[in-house]
A and B are shown apart, each in its own frame.
Chain A
Amino acid sequence: MARQSGEGRRRALLIAPSILMIGLFMLVPVGIMAAISFMERGSGGGVNWGSFTTEPYLQFLFERDLDDSLLLNTDYLQIFFRSIWLAALTTALTLAVGLPTALFMALQPERRRNLLIFLVTIPFWTNLLVRNYAWILLLRNNGLIDQVLMGLGLRSEPIGVLYTTFSIAVGLAYTFMPFMVLPIYASLEKLDWRLVEAAYDLGADRWRALRRVVVPLAMPGIAAGCILVFIPCLGAFVTPELLGGGKALMIGNLIQSQFGAARNWPFGAALSMALLAAVLLAMMFYLWRYRRAPGAV
């Protein structure tokens, strides 16, 4: 008994630093955010400390009529869902490129793999702004891609991809590609390739061996990659601003502007809380789904 509690105390001591870190740098700021989201906005920025109101949350869904009655306002919801759609599109793009990439890497001789991992991380090396401007140069009207397409005679006029949801998704996908490739690669690297031989042996062609054996066994990596891409995409604001040309407002831009130009901290905080809730729901869905799936651990 005594020994056990001693053991327990030692264990508590060992994890204390990380608990402290999480508490200090995550829970406290989130708590402050949550608190701010229930306060009145201060004149000229900041908040009136100690005040309480649910107005920021109401503002998310409604607008006040002249007679102070609430009218449903879907503007912000639309932004919210546009952001989710964008994050989903980006995740799909990274998955479509990342899965074959990871598969290719895992099938290379061992010596070449480390070099490939290194190459995959290249997007991390340059500044986010530089990367985004590079994409602007590629995607803009008469940019490199247009010139190549027209030069080859495949197109007679510019295709005008820049400043669309698609161009944002391309930019985000490029930025977050390593987050998709690396977890999938990690799970493919552990895969027992004899199972793929067994699938071939039983009459599965390459496509069906991939679908029935490789993908299910790489599912933990695929799911992790999707989460790692989806969540930061939801809150991204630099890339939507630059590659979206400010035309399509995303939730990240909205939050940023509330803390910046609009000087409406409580509303910004409320939006952040709504985003956090959406992310938590997604995570819970993931845990629920994969705790049940046999063999996917």
Chain B
Amino acid sequence: MKDWAIEARGLTKRFGTGADTVTALDRVSVTIRENEFFTLLGPSGCGKTTLLRLIAGFELPSEGKLLLHGQRIENLPPFRRPVNTVFQSYALFPHLSVLRNVAFGPEMQRRPKAEIEAEARRMLELVRLEGFERRLPRELSGGQQQRVALARALAGRPRVLLLDEPLSALDLKLRREMQIELKRLQHETGITFVFVTHDQEEALTMSDRIAVMSGGRILQIGTPTEIYEQPTSRFVADFIGETNFLDAHCEQVAEGRAQFRLSSGDLVQGLAIPGLMSGSEVTLAVRPERLDLLADGQPGIPATMQDLLYIGNDTVCTVALADGTELQVRVQNRHGAIHASAPGSAVRVGVEPQAVRVVGD
């Protein structure tokens, strides 16, 4: 496909030799579209930085193919790749002024002098740092340094911009501002962004698509809603947001629906996934906010109230099923704090079939 900015096929990266070998990336295949805001999300050590370093060219893959706009690049040195990086540590040149830092990329491309200067100034304007041209990096605040790093990476007019946790050093307020700014910049420049974070909220709010990684593998790729609403694995469901996991036995599958018997003996309806067979043991994932808390006697799964946690906009209730399985139910306080049953009283939990998903391990 032409409009794929990056295409990785079976990308593997091993560090070390012999018994010390670490497989940082394990047969990663992913395609990133042009002008996409693509996020790599995963816990520490899952290989996010390694994948970025392979794309940037700082590491060579042990196996696999890497294509940029359809061209093989896995053996090109970093300075031949139209890919720029915003480093987590910013890595601004301490001996150069802000302007010279930003001008570094265009200078290396041997563009005409006047153009270099104009481009650098335009980029500083884009990140709203006019008037800081002559300062040295150490004379800037963290947020300003971050924006210089961004301007410097953009000034080389890369096809793809790689951002390795660029916001992690900033405080919450600045972080929010920069998130908005990054989206604006991506929109204005039309450059493909590959963004690394381990902040799930950041990933959900900013991305066009997210790849969730774990242990050197990509577990799932999808839009924020797909990742959140339709996690395919227990890890993804657990890593992003809160989730109830229920062991269940699949009783029957028909027309995209399935009927499960929970370990408590209760029956629930859910969505079938391809390959689901009746008679198999499965894990079900249900988001707490997709469950309803009902009065005793109404249709639903009988349960016992255990605990109520009031958190302002919502109340999180912990209920126990017949066999003691605990379940979180998140109730919106739409009419003020709910005066639900006291701990120990019998309640019913309403489950709609769309909220019940089978996840792999």
Given contacts A200-B77, A200-B78, A201-B56, whether A295 and B105 have CB atoms under 8 Å apart is no
Q: How far is the CB of B94 from chain A (nearest CB, A)?
A: 5
Asked whether any CB of chain B lies closer than 8 Å to the CB of A291, the reply is no
Is the C-beta of B104 less than 8 angstroms from some C-beta in chain A?
Answer: yes
* Assembly CA distance A217 to B91 (angstroms): 13
- Contact indicator A213/B93 (Cβ below 8 Å): yes
* Interface size, chain B (Cβ < 8 Å): 26
Q: Give the size category of A's interface with B.
A: 20 to 34
- Report the Cα distance A195→B156, complex, angstroms: 16
Q: Indicate whether B173 reaches chain A with its CB closer than 8 angstroms.
A: no
Min CB–CB distance A297 → chain B (angstroms): 10
Q: Which residues of the other chain, A, contact B83 by a CB distance below 8 angstroms?
A: 201
A202 within 8 A of B: yes
- Fill in one digit per residue for A259-297: 1 if any B CB lies within 8 Å of its CB, else 0: 000000000000000000000000000000000011110
A293 to B136, CA, bound (A): 12
Q: Judge whether B192 is part of the interface by a CB distance below 8 angstroms.
A: no
> Which chain B residues lie closer than 8 Å to A205 at the CB level?
77, 79
Q: When the two chains form their complex, are residues B95 and A202 in contact, meaning their CB atoms are under 8 A apart?
A: no
Q: Mark A200-216, 1 if CB is under 8 A from B, else 0.
A: 11111100100011001
A-B contact count (CB 8 A): 66
CB distance from A35 to the nearest CB of B (A): 45
Q: Mark B61-78, 1 if CB is under 8 A from A, else 0.
A: 000000000000000011
Interface string of B141-174 (1 = CB under 8 A from A): 0000000000011001000000000000000000
B58 contacts the other chain (Cβ, under 8 Å)? yes
A198 lies within 8 A of B79 (CB): no
Q: Which residue of B lies closest to A197 (CB)?
A: B58
Interface residue B85 (Cβ < 8 Å from any Cβ of A): yes
Asked whether A194 and B78 contact (CB < 8 A) given A216-B95, A295-B96, the answer is no
Q: Which residues of B contact A213 (CB under 8 A)?
A: 93
CB neighbours (8 Å) of A197 from chain B are 58, 78, 87, 91
Once the chains bind, are B94 and A202 in contact (CB under 8 Å)? Answer: no
* Residue contact A294 to B95, C-beta cutoff 8 Å: yes
B95 touching A194, Cβ below 8 Å? no
A192 CB–B CB distance under 8 Å: yes
Chain A residue with the shortest CB-CB distance to B109:
A203
Given the known inter-chain contacts A202-B156, A216-B95, A294-B136, please indicate yes or no for A194 contacting B108, CB distance below 8 A: no
A-contact bits for B89-111, CB 8 A (1 contact / 0 none): 10111111100000011001100
B77-A202 in contact (CB<8A): no
- The distance in angstroms between the C-alpha atoms of A199 and B57, with both chains bound, is 12
Do the beta carbons of A202 and B91 come within 8 Å of each other? Answer: no
B84 close to A (CB within 8 Å): yes
Q: Which residues of A contact B94 (CB under 8 A)?
A: 195, 217, 295
Chain B 270-300 interface 0/1 with A at a Cβ cutoff of 8 Å (1 = within): 0000000000000000000000000000000
A204, B108: Cβ atoms closer than 8 Å: yes
Instruction: Let me know if B85 and A201 touch, CB within 8 A.
Output: yes
Contact of B104 among A199, A293, A295 (CB under 8 A): A199
Residues of A162-218 at the interface with B, using a CB-CB cut-off of 8 Å, are 192, 194-195, 197-205, 208, 212-213, 216-217
Which residues on A are within 8 Å of B, measured CB to CB? Answer: 192, 194-195, 197-205, 208, 212-213, 216-217, 293-296
A-B contact pairs, 29 of them (CB 8 A): A194-B87, A194-B89, A195-B93, A195-B94, A197-B78, A197-B87, A197-B91, A198-B87, A198-B92, A199-B104, A200-B57, A200-B77, A200-B78, A200-B79, A201-B56, A201-B57, A201-B58, A201-B79, A202-B84, A202-B105, A202-B152, A203-B79, A203-B109, A203-B156, A204-B108, A208-B108, A294-B95, A294-B136, A295-B94
